[in-house]
Amino acid sequence: GENVEQHPSTLSVQEGDSAVIKCTYSDSASNYFPWYKQELGKRPQLIIDIRSNVGEKKDQRIAVTLNKTAKHFSLHITETQPEDSAVYFCAAPTSGTYKYIFGTGTRLKVLA
């Protein structure tokens, strides 16, 4: 069945460094790849997304890259700040259905 693998499960970086989280998906027809951030005690919220006709998208300090051939996409956070500490989820909604599948999450800690 459809599968989304996310790595790493935890990531600690020093403030100001970059963080990269990677997801691999199985459905080659998937065409929408969102990333969600969940702060402690709060609901997941969309922070950036990319569609399959684009290879990279940036929004200030965050960017997402997509490699459709290899079926993986990555979240890049530059100049990390303490407020970036959260759990990040990728998703690869299954094409042709209404199913919305998430990765297992990455707990990012930004050390001051």
Partner 1 sequence: DVKVTQSSRYLVKRTGEKVFLECVQDMDHENMFWYRQDPGLGLRLIYFSYDVKMKEKGDIPEGYSVSREKKERFSLILESASTNQTSMYLCASSPPGQGNTEAFFGQGTRLTVV
Site residues, partner 1 (CB under 8 A): 1, 6, 9, 30-32, 34, 36, 42-46, 49, 51, 89, 91, 93-105
Q: What is the 3-state secondary structure (H, E, C) of 39-83?
A: CCCCCCEEEEEEECCCCEEEECCEEEEEECCCCEEEEEECCCCHH
Closest separation in Å from C-beta 105 to partner 1: 4
> Could you give the CA distance from residue 66 to residue 74 in angstroms, rounded to a whole number?
7
Nearest to partner 1 of 40, 70 (CB atom):
40
Closest separation in Å from C-beta 11 to partner 1: 14
Closest separation in Å from C-beta 35 to partner 1: 11
